[in-house]
Amino acid sequence: MLLNLHPITIIINLIVLGVAMTVHEFAHNFVAWKMGDEAPKLQGRLTLNPLVHINWIGWLMFAIIGFGILGSAPISPQRMRDPRKGFLAAVAAGPLSNLALAVVFGLLLRFIGLSALGLSAYYAPDRIVDPISLLAALLYAMVFWNILLFVFNMIPLFPIDGWHIVLSLLPGTWLTHMQIPVVIQRSLRPLAEFLMRPAFKWRDWQMASYYVFIALIFLSFLPLGGVSPFGVFIGRPTSALLSFLLF
């Protein structure tokens, strides 16, 4: 899972991930504050200063191996005017901000006609011989990493944003016991319980979801014949979005 360890690639990754992380965490904090949570303002998180948000070890790990905890946001639904809708908006703001960055820089890269150069220069940094190729590689990386962060954060596994988004979307009580088919009640009891109280059951499965997440990370570092779980869940959607924006 190691990325290209060429010094230029690492520097580009550090710059791009620093920007992506800062905007992501700022979006979480800003929307949470707008929804009534005063903690981001009191803790000085309503800023685009990366030093306020960054997780130094996670930032370095992400630039080198493609995985790490970039930052955090001290937001809580209990402090919001409408806990469910407010938390949904605040959590979704992070990955959506990455998607917005990818679209903006993708359109810019496509408009100036450097998509192909950016692709080749980023993955073959020895070809970076002038400011134009360096700019193209940097812009390509900005699009690539922001798409990847968007896709990654939409995975519904704890503690990723996607898990919290699903929790916010699920109602506390949906179907009554009598509305659930008997065959589901008898043969698929966990599903029946989930249908009766989806949000509560989703929260009950939090730790199980976390263990699945850790297992997928571990499997991604093992030689599995070129197949990686995250390559399926993240790589393919990322490649599709990248191609749509740039080519």
pLDDT one digit per residue (tens) for the chain, 247 residues? 556 788 999 999 999 999 999 999 999 999 999 999 999 999 999 999 999 999 889 898 888 887 778 888 999 999 999 998 999 999 999 999 999 999 999 999 999 999 999 999 999 999 898 999 999 999 999 999 999 999 999 999 999 999 999 988 887 765 565 666 777 777 877 777 776 778 778 888 899 999 999 998 888 777 666 677 777 889 889 999 999 999 8
Which pLDDT belongs to residue 10? 93
Which pLDDT belongs to residue 223? 65
Q: Is 193 a catalytic residue?
A: no
Please name the residue that has the structure tokens 């970076």. Answer: 128
Instruction: Considering the candidates 13, 25, 109, 228, report the single residue annotated as catalytic.
Output: 25
Global model pTM greater than 0.75? yes
Which pLDDT belongs to residue 174? 55
CA distances from 85 to 27, 44, 118, 133, 189 (A): 16, 24, 39, 44, 29
Which pLDDT belongs to residue 152? 94
Which pLDDT belongs to residue 226? 62
